Amino acid sequence: MRNTPIKKFLIPVLGVFEPLTFSMPFIREKKGLISLVIIAGLVSNLSLLFVPIFIGDSVSALQQGHARYIIRYSLLILLAYSISAAVSFALNYGSQYISQFYAMNLRKVFILHLLGKRFLFFESQTSGDLLSRGTMDIEATRNFIMNTFSSLIPTIFLIGEGLVLLYQVSPFYSLLLALATPVLVMLGMRSSRKQRTVWRMIRKTYGRMGEILQENIVGQRVIRGIDAEGKEIAKYSMETQRYYDENLTVGRIRGLYNNLMPLTVASISSAALAVGGYIDLIRGISVGGLVSAVTIFSMLTNPVSFLGRMVVFSENSRAAIQRIKDVISTENEEDVNSGGFNFQKGPLEFSRVTFSRGGRTILSNVSFRAEPGDFIGITGKTGSGKSSLVNLIMRYYEPDSGKITIAGKEIHEIPISILRRNVAIVPQEINLLSGTIKENILFGLESSLDEVEKAASVAEISDFIDSLPMRYDTLVGERGITLSGGQRQRIAIARAVLRKPAILILDDATSSIDPDTEERIFKNLKETLKDSIILMVSLRESALSFADKVLILDGGDMKEAEV
């Protein structure tokens, strides 16, 4: 279909309900409340619309000398306002309730998806941007949905009801209003188009600002260590300036159109009063009728122009929805149903595994086999693919071809949660949480303190913990900042040991530990995890000398070291 002006007009107008459609799955269970709020929107305005009718009637009554009716009409007007006020409360509270319920459910879905994403997803996103999607974007849509219930729907009802009432009083005025409506709405849309582009830029800039702040908080030691504060401040100042400019642009566009609107509304109202009043008087409408018609007409022009503004608002909210959808509707890690799955311990086998990243082959046709009880060293130059290889076992990434099996079962047939419960990795970059030592070792498990202590002693960290005044309840600071590198590594080893994994992966996990302690840790591990497979990635001769067998990665190929 061609891009006709009608289509250009209708699509954005209909799009005003897109946020509502998007919110439905999250609020469906509040059907009753939703219906109630919609009915409240219908009633709250209807009662107000009767006010001009009562005013007109009282003018007519006065004209005819029936002064006693005045009390009756005043009471009716009071009643109409009271009904409207009572219903408005329900309307506002109900809209708040529904929109908050929506946001709460969406936030839960959001984090669920975030944690279910493939690792590759995060490599193409920045954390500042994801953060702003999970907070600002969700809040922007919540706000719009609240406005949909509290203002948009009631306004549409108001215009419909008003047109019908106005038609009863003066068909001419209702025709005038019907004609003015598209003009007013279009005006709002014009400004919406102008604002949309800038809104998107604002969002991006905001995300980048968050990113820079975060990098500076997380990496402040590095940044200050290399004396890069000046550069970082300049970078942040530039984005802040941009944010400032973009917001001012939106302010200008908004200021212009927001003033143009009331002016147009006022012109239309005045013209209507002049022309309509003249025609109606000629046609012999009563003075009371004319008062009602003019009052209803002027009660409706503002709501109509508000519709145009809602189209403007919705642009912003729809951009936010798109960004949220990018997270909650893109592919997650493939998983198989974990119900009734029985994990079998057994040999780990790579057969002709090929893996590439960013168009470069990292591992090509790698094959090896490890039996329970094996302690296997993996080495190779930096960047040779050691971490990539062990990450494949965790299914952090998927190989391009080849098979990885545990006890003969391909790992993608094992439910991810079960696989990761039985394969423990101590990663090259240790991540501690900002809790106590005990919480960091438990990491979600519910083992007894006794077991935690045993795991700590296997990792040769128990003496250190015992020397602390608060022992296992010592707080480690954000990301373990109060511990040394080697202490952090040993806590991470204790965490892995506590899980009694069938396969334990140490990815350069003893690089900051002195050779004597390292030796004791390996001995302990061999003893405690007798039937487990231990894969140890290391660059150090001393560590590798403990392995039963050492595999060397070189240029994507794997070969066994001669002993």
Ligand X SMILES: Nc1ncnc2c1ncn2[C@@H]1O[C@H](COP(=O)(O)OP(=O)(O)OP(=O)(O)O)[C@@H](O)[C@H]1O
Name the one range near ligand X by CB under 6 A: 124-132, 338-346, 385-393, 495-503.
385-393
CB contact burial 487-521 (16+ within 10 A = b; e otherwise): bbbbbbbbbbbbbbbbbbbbbbbbbebeeeebbeb
Task: Tell me: does residue 364 bind ligand X (CB under 6 A).
Answer: no
Residue with smaller CB distance to Mg ion, 305 or 510: 510
List the interface residues with ligand X, window 421-480 (CB under 6 A).
Answer: 428
**Which among Mg ion, ligand X, none contacts residue 422 (Cβ within 5 to 8 A by kind)?**
none
Minimum CB–partner distance for residue 387 and Mg ion (Å): 3
> Which 3-state string (H, E, C) describes 106-154?
HHHHHHHHHHHECHHHHHCCCHHHHHHHHHHHHHHHHHHHHHHHHHHHH
Tell me the number of residues near ligand X by CB under 6 A. 13
**Quick check: 399 and 362 in contact, CB under 8 A?**
no
**Quick check: 195 and 275 in contact, CB under 8 A?**
no
Task: Tell me: does residue 269 bind ligand X (CB under 6 A).
Answer: no
Q: How far apart are CA 507 and CA 379, in angstroms?
A: 10
Q: How far apart are CA 333 and CA 319, in angstroms?
A: 26
**Which among Mg ion, ligand X, none contacts residue 362 (Cβ within 5 to 8 A by kind)?**
ligand X
Residue with smaller CB distance to Mg ion, 286 or 428: 428
Tell me the H-state helices in 407-459: 416-422, 437-442, 449-458
Task: Tell me: does residue 388 bind ligand X (CB under 6 A).
Answer: yes
Q: How far apart are CA 70 and CA 64, in angstroms?
A: 12
Name the one range near ligand X by CB under 6 A: 201-209, 237-245, 356-364, 448-456.
356-364
Name the one range near ligand X by CB under 6 A: 377-385, 398-406, 429-437, 465-473.
377-385
**Which among Mg ion, ligand X, none contacts residue 388 (Cβ within 5 to 8 A by kind)?**
ligand X
Segment (H or E) for 507 = strand 503-507
Task: Tell me: does residue 357 bind ligand X (CB under 6 A).
Answer: yes
Residue 390, CA atoms < 13 Å, CB-side half-sphere? 27
Minimum CB–partner distance for residue 357 and ligand X (Å): 4
**Quick check: 159 and 301 in contact, CB under 8 A?**
no
Minimum CB–partner distance for residue 121 and ligand X (Å): 11
Calculate the CA 506 to chain-centre distance.
33
Name the one range near ligand X by CB under 6 A: 28-36, 381-389, 429-437, 446-454.
381-389
Task: Tell me: does residue 358 bind ligand X (CB under 6 A).
Answer: yes
SS3 562: coil
Q: How far apart are CA 119 and CA 550, in angstroms?
A: 28
Task: Tell me: does residue 118 bind ligand X (CB under 6 A).
Answer: no
List the interface residues with Mg ion, window 370-429 (CB under 5 A).
Answer: 387, 428
SS3 293: helix
Residue with smaller CB distance to ligand X, 386 or 395: 386
**Quick check: 467 and 502 in contact, CB under 8 A?**
no
**Which among ligand X, Mg ion, none contacts residue 471 (Cβ within 5 to 8 A by kind)?**
none
- Contacting residues for 64 by C-beta, under 8 A, at least 6 apart: none
CB contact burial 9-36 (16+ within 10 A = b; e otherwise): eeebbebbebbbebbeebbeebeebbee
Minimum CB–partner distance for residue 507 and Mg ion (Å): 6
Residue with smaller CB distance to ligand X, 366 or 493: 366
Minimum CB–partner distance for residue 554 and ligand X (Å): 10
Give the residues across from 104 on adjacent strands: none
Residue with smaller CB distance to ligand X, 123 or 334: 123
Give residue 461's identity as a one-letter amino acid code: I
CB contact burial 42-59 (16+ within 10 A = b; e otherwise): bbbbbbbbbbbbbbbbbb
Task: Tell me: does residue 495 bind ligand X (CB under 6 A).
Answer: no
Q: How far apart are CA 431 and CA 490, in angstroms?
A: 12
Name the one range near ligand X by CB under 6 A: 233-241, 254-262, 338-346, 378-386.
378-386
Task: Tell me: does residue 385 bind ligand X (CB under 6 A).
Answer: yes
Q: What are phi and psi of 514, to 5 degrees?
A: -65, 150
Task: Tell me: does residue 379 bind ligand X (CB under 6 A).
Answer: no
**Which among ligand X, Mg ion, none contacts residue 489 (Cβ within 5 to 8 A by kind)?**
none
Name the one range near ligand X by CB under 6 A: 31-39, 60-68, 218-226, 384-392.
384-392
Q: Draw the binding track, 73-112, toward ligand X (x: CB under 6 A; -: no contact).
A: ----------------------------------------
Residue with smaller CB distance to Mg ion, 96 or 428: 428
Task: Tell me: does residue 382 bind ligand X (CB under 6 A).
Answer: yes
| Residue choice 386, 395, 438, 490 for contact with ligand X (CB under 6 A) | 386
Provide the binding-site residues for Mg ion, judged by CB under 5 A.
387, 428
Provide the binding-site residues for ligand X, judged by CB under 6 A.
123, 357-358, 362, 380, 382-388, 428
